[in-house]
Structure 1
Amino acid sequence: MERNTSVFALFGGVRPMARKLDEPASNVAAWKRVGRIPAEKQPHVLAVGLKLGLPITAEHVVFPLGRPHAAYADLPSQDARVFCDRQSDSQRTKTAEPKI
């Protein structure tokens, strides 16, 4: 299902959304600027939206500006592996104390 309405538009803009969520407008503006609502705030945003009767879904909260564009779907995924040749303290073998 394609949706074009951002969660910010559903609430009527940044300032009205901030008032309804009892959040500073600067916080909500930052969420819009980065395109992400913090995970700890998402349930509250969804609950308030539903209580107000807005046609809001969990997808609106997870992707507040809409899903990433389909044109990016054909890009190869980023390799998330990290290589490090150093061992952590827990990986190092314990050597016996020299006996004197």
Structure 2
Amino acid sequence: MSHSQHWQHHIDAWQQAGSSQAQYCREHELDQSQFSYWKRKLIKTCEPQSVKSSRFAVAQVAVMSEPASSLSISFPCGIVLSGIDANNAPVAATLLEYLR
């Protein structure tokens, strides 16, 4: 198992456990600074790859009388942002900009 696979396993388990990072590291005898390093490093690989030509994105939200099917965004690392619709599209756009 490579270093990145080892740490990805622990990061996934920590997210599932719902405990604090410090508590998880103590319970699994992990160095907390290494955990933080790998968490930052691996989360960067999950960010959507985009052209850095502008800090702004144009989004149009149409108000529809019929319920529309929700939109979902899948990141390469397996994280899925789903349930995006006309009511929460601005929140999703802000989240994507933050992850960028």
TM-score by length of 1: 0.29
Higher normalized contact order (CA 8 Å, seq sep 6+, divided by chain length):
1
Higher fraction of helix: 2
| Larger radius of gyration between Structure 1 and Structure 2 | 1
Normalized per residue, which structure has more strand? 2
Give TM-score scaled by structure 2 length: 0.29
